Structures are given as structure tokens and as C-alpha cells.
A and B are shown apart, each in its own frame.
Chain A
Amino acid sequence: MRLELPRTHRTALGDFRGVIEGLLVRDWSSLVLGGGTVLAMHWNHRHSTDLDFLVEEDEPPDAGALREALEALQRQGRIDIWRYARRRSVMLTSAGVRLSLVFEGVDAGVSTEDRTAMDIRCESPSSILTRKLFGRVLDSGQMVSRDFYDFAWAALHRPPLWARVSARLLPEERGRIVRECRSIVRSRKGRRTGRPVLRPSDPELARDVWAACARLLEAGADRGG
């Protein structure tokens, strides 16, 4: 299947292509598009502003000189902001679109299905949800409303997929996340929880995302999935 990138993303990708090919990857085929943008292309459940790439390479080709090259691009006005951390991740912003590349290593073996514009492979939805749940929530403790909107949407509209992803949660981990969601519900006015969910297909769910997630995670525990 061919996934359709939104027009703004397609334009941004075209603009960034030279930078990506010149500085960031040796081989275009090592790029995998992941994150909320791919979920939004599959499900059309919200709008995503970022282009998140996983790169199946260990580091950028000329990792040592990349900092200077990015500084030069910024001076030329081709990119607004950049960040380059530990030879593993690069983030660029230009004209309101944020592009990030994470170097996962040559043997990352990211699970992919489908392709999008410029023949870029897309990460599979189950892999994206797994990385969000285990990488962001469990490993870093990030409670971001966009991610939890994705979880809730998947639980409601793609139950087998969500059951497969969340079945790996240990009972105590599930309980911790439920309690944290409840705590956010109780103190919502005081707590920022990431950038807002943009253009949600289910505004009711987006408004009530923390309570819905707590409910759905508990229901999943009762069903054993």
C-alpha cells in the first residue's frame, strides 16, 4: 500500500532532501518514517506536524563534522534550529516543520509496512505504538497527551492491535500508568502534558484522553490483554 503524506510534509521533505542526502544518510533506503505522522496517514485520526525518521545506520556519514555543517546551513538560513546529540539523533526545524532522525544502528530491524512519497519505508503501527508505550512512557516517564490519544484511539478502533501491544505490560506497570492518568485527570489545570492533539477525529476523546486511557487500560487488564 502507498501512504499519502500531507502536502506540507511532502513539501518539507522535498526541501530537506538535499540536506538528508548530503549530510545525514549514506543510503536513502536506510530511512524509515515513523511516529505519529505514519499513524495519522493510516488512521486519519489526528494531524501530526513532525517528520520522525529512524535510520538504520550507526551514525551520520561524517559525524565529526556534522555540527559545523549544520551551523553553516543555519547561517545560510536553510534551517532555523538544529540539534545534534551524541551522534545518535539530529533534529532540524525549517518553516514550522520539525524533522528528526534517530540513528538506530545497522541491525535495528525496524518493523515496516507500506511506503510513502520518495519511496520511503514506513514503520508499522504496532511498532510505533510499542515504541511510544515502552520507549516513551515506561522508559522515560513521558506522559504526552498525543501518545495517549493514539493509545486510546487504537484501543477503541483497532482493539486486536492495541491488545497485542499492551499485552506486554506487566500488571504493576499497567497499574502505575492508570494511577498517573488519574492523577493528571485530577490536576489537569495545573499540568501541561505535551503539545496539544491537533485536529482530532474524535474531539470528545481528545478532551477526555486521560480518563479514557485509565478506563481502557483497566478494562484491558480485566480481559488479560
Chain B
Amino acid sequence: MARDRRDRRTGPLRTTTWRRGRGNPTPWMMRPVLPPLEEYDAVPSFKERAPLDAEVIRALWHEHMSGSPVRMDRAALRMRRWMRTDRDGLLIPDEETALHDFLEGLRGIDLLAFRQSCGASIYEIARVMHIIGCRAHYAVGWMRQYLYEDWDDEWRAG
């Protein structure tokens, strides 16, 4: 979803609601923590894979990672491989960093687009987020809502 299309939205919303919270990054200690993988493993419907939509994934990747040396291939198979990674060490450090930065950039409707197009299940997304040690505020908060009642209930590290 290109940002210029989003900016075409008219009305007072553009400057108030939409930009709210897009200031400084959240301090590390205030970031939510991803629940243990076993909790995602326990829900059968979290194993259903979404289809891989290369166009959407490429659009998201290039919107948020346009200057990164880690590029997304035309068929977005790289994303599918990353999402199906099941143990540490399979992603090279550059890929881990890029994926973490990518998840850090995703928010709201982009997270929905990502989940619906990444070719992986919620369980697999949680698994790869655990492997790369993801603490991206919005991505983790969004993953928590699948398990807990409120997006931000009891989310601090301790």
C-alpha cells in the first residue's frame, strides 16, 4: 500500500489521528513482550496458512525497507522462507536485522495486509518473531491480541 495513496485521504484526520503516536520510538522497557510460542501452538486455527501474495509483500517491503541491501525477490519467496524458519541460525544476521526493522515499521492496517499475504500462519509468524527476538511495539501488541483480551493489557516485561 503506497503511502501517497494513503495521504490522499482528506479531512482533519490526516494531521491529528493518523500521525498520533508516530513520534519517537517506544523506549525498550515499555515495549510489549511476545507471549510464549506454546500459547500460539495451542490454538488449532493459528496453524492455518494465509496465501502468499507477492505484490502486497513486495509493496510493504519496499515501502518500509527501500534503502535496505536486503531486497525482496519478485515472487516474495524470500518472505515465505523467512516465515517458515523453524530454528535459530537459518536466517543470516542481515536478514534478521532487516526483518526486525520491517516489523518495526509495520502498523495497523499494514499488519493486517502482512498477515493476509505472507504465506504463513499466525503460529509461524509468532515463531519467527521469537527466533529474531522481535520487540517491535505494534507488531508484538498486534500478535498479543490473538491471545489476550485487550491489545495492551499487562504487556510490560516485568
Distance from B1 Cβ to chain A, minimum over Cβ atoms (Å): 6
Provide the residues of chain B in CB contact with A134, threshold 8 Å. Answer: 13, 17-18
Nearest residue (CB) in A for B141 is: A140
Nearest residue (CB) in B for A86 is: B30
A179 and B16 alpha carbons, distance in the complex (Å): 27
A109 and B11 alpha carbons, distance in the complex (Å): 14
Q: Please tell me if A42 contacts chain B, counting CB pairs below 8 Å.
A: no
Q: Which of B1-55 contact A (CB under 8 A)?
A: 1, 5-6, 8-11, 13, 16-18, 20-21, 30, 43-46, 48
Q: Please tell me if B90 contacts chain A, counting CB pairs below 8 Å.
A: no
A191 and B13 alpha carbons, distance in the complex (Å): 30
Provide the residues of chain B in CB contact with A170, threshold 8 Å. Answer: 5-6, 8-9
Looking at A6-14, A56-64, A182-190, A207-215, the stretch in contact with chain B turns out to be A182-190
Q: What is the total of A-B residue contacts with beta carbons within 8 Å?
A: 94
Interface residues of A, CB < 8 Å — how many?
A: 34
Q: Determine whether the beta carbon of B20 is less than 8 Å from that of A192.
A: no
Distance from A192 Cβ to chain B, minimum over Cβ atoms (Å): 6
**Given B10, B20, B148, which contacts A135 in the complex, CB threshold below 8 Å?**
B20
Nearest residue (CB) in A for B151 is: A142
Distance from B129 Cβ to chain A, minimum over Cβ atoms (Å): 14
Q: Determine whether the beta carbon of A139 is less than 8 Å from that of B107.
A: yes
A183 and B158 alpha carbons, distance in the complex (Å): 33
Chain B contact residues, CB within 8 Å of chain A: 1, 5-6, 8-11, 13, 16-18, 20-21, 30, 43-46, 48, 107-109, 111-113, 115-116, 138, 141-142, 145-151
Closest 9 pairs between A and B when the two form their complex, measured CB to CB: A190-B45, A187-B45, A190-B43, A141-B111, A141-B142, A139-B108, A141-B108, A142-B151, A176-B112
With contacts A141-B138, A186-B48, A190-B45 known, what are 17 further pairs, Cβ within 8 A?
A109-B16, A134-B13, A137-B108, A137-B109, A140-B107, A140-B138, A141-B111, A143-B145, A144-B145, A168-B9, A168-B11, A172-B1, A177-B112, A179-B116, A192-B145, A194-B145, A194-B150
